[in-house]
């Protein structure tokens, strides 16, 4: 008589450390918040995605959904801030292009959550969550100023211009999501780089510091790069505008 095969050994349960477990729960929450408004996500769903019990979620986040959302938002904000970091090498507009590639990839991955985050109005929105969002905006502006050769020493006009551009990037991202992610991300990215250059040029016309920053930036650019291609497209447009204005005069 053939002996019965031995049953496979039961899979050992591995207890996670505190930080590992917390990271696991945050990962589950971020997965849900990425595609659902925070008001619509329950702790039961977070527990299910993480493969744990609801009481365990409360053990790590005794403040419930609000505390979990704020922690997940902080984690997402740290990821988003990293998108704007770029080594100070090569033409500035090419650096900004790479920054926007990472930023738009983040927006694409966290579409619904990104919209809820920036539009506000959520029942879980507080002064703390608003401060986290503002921290991302300020950090992004500081990184762009560094790419423009300024940084913390930037004057009010240049700083205002960059923060205005950051606001335009946010608005364009939300519209992009509303429009079914059209045009293609690469086309949107190129347009946003163009917007930065145009705003920089307009501000440079009346602000000496911005003019110096633009002169230094253009000295690092190439004819085939974003700044060079924009200049080639603008020359005939500006020439025609000058001609029409001269006729009106």
Query: Is residue 103 within 8 Å of residue 83, measured between CB atoms?
Result: yes
CATH at 55: 1.10.10.60
On whether both 22 and 144 belong to a single domain, the answer is: no
How far does CA 35 lie from the centroid of its chain? 16
Please give the pLDDT value at position 163: 95
Name the range with the highest mean pLDDT among 22-31, 89-98, 122-131.
89-98
CATH at 125: 1.10.357.10
Report if pTM > 0.85: no
User: Mind listing the pLDDT tens digit for each residue in 140-159?
Assistant: 999 999 988 887 778 899 99
Other C-beta atoms lying within 10 Å of the C-beta of residue 22 = 14
On whether both 98 and 175 belong to a single domain, the answer is: yes
On whether both 94 and 47 belong to a single domain, the answer is: no
Instruction: Choose the weakest-confidence range: 10-14, 72-76, 201-205, 214-218.
Output: 10-14
On whether both 194 and 142 belong to a single domain, the answer is: yes
Domain housing 33? 16-69
On whether both 44 and 143 belong to a single domain, the answer is: no
pLDDT at residue 124 above 70? no
On whether both 46 and 102 belong to a single domain, the answer is: no
- Average pLDDT for the chain: 84
On whether both 120 and 211 belong to a single domain, the answer is: yes
> What percentage of residues in the chain have a pLDDT greater than 70?
85
On whether both 43 and 99 belong to a single domain, the answer is: no
The total of structural domains in the chain comes to: 2
Q: How many Å apart are CA 241 and CA 245, to the nearest integer?
A: 6
HEC secondary structure over the chain: CCCCCCCCCCCCCCCCCHHHHHHHHHHHHHHHHHHCCHHHCCHHHHHHHHCCCHHHHHHHCCCHHHHHHHHHHHHHHHHHHHHCCCCCCCCHHHHHHHHHHHHHHHHHHCHHHHHHHHHCCCCCCCHHHHHHHHHHHHHHHHHHHHHCCCHHHCCHHHHHHHHHHHHHHHHHHHHHHHCCCCCCHHHHHHHHHHHHHHHHHHHHCCCHHHHHHHHHHHHHCCCCCHHHHHHHHHHHHHHHHHHHHHHHC
On whether both 95 and 161 belong to a single domain, the answer is: yes
On whether both 154 and 206 belong to a single domain, the answer is: yes
On whether both 59 and 114 belong to a single domain, the answer is: no
């Amino acid at each position: 008589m053939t002996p019965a095969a031995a049953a496979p050994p039961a899979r050992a349960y591995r207890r996670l450390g505190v930080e590992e477990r917390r990271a696991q729960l945050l990962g589950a929450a971020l997965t849900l918040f990425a595609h659902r408004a925070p008001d619509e996500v329950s702790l039961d769903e977070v527990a299910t995605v993480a493969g744990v019990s609801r009481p365990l979620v409360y053990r790590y986040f005794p403040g419930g959904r609000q505390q979990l959302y704020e922690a997940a938002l902080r984690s997402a904000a740290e990821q988003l801030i990293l998108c704007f970091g770029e080594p100070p090498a090569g033409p500035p507009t090419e650096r900004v292009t790479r920054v926007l590639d990472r930023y738009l990839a983040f927006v694409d991955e966290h579409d619904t959550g990104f919209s809820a985050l920036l539009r506000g109005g959520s029942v879980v929105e507080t002064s703390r969550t608003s401060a986290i969002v503002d921290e991302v905006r300020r950090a992004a502006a500081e990184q762009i100023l560094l790419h423009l050769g300024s940084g913390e020493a930037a004057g009010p006009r240049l700083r205002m211009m960059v923060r205005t551009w950051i606001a335009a990037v946010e608005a364009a991202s939300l519209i992009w999501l509303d429009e079914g992610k059209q045009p293609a991300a690469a086309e949107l990215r190129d347009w946003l780089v163009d917007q930065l250059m145009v705003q920089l040029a307009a501000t440079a016309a009346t602000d000496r510091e911005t003019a110096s920053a633009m002169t230094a930036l253009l000295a690092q650019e190439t004819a085939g790069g974003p700044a060079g291609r924009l200049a080639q497209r603008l020359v005939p447009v500006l020439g025609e505008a000058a001609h029409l204005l001269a006729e009106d005069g």
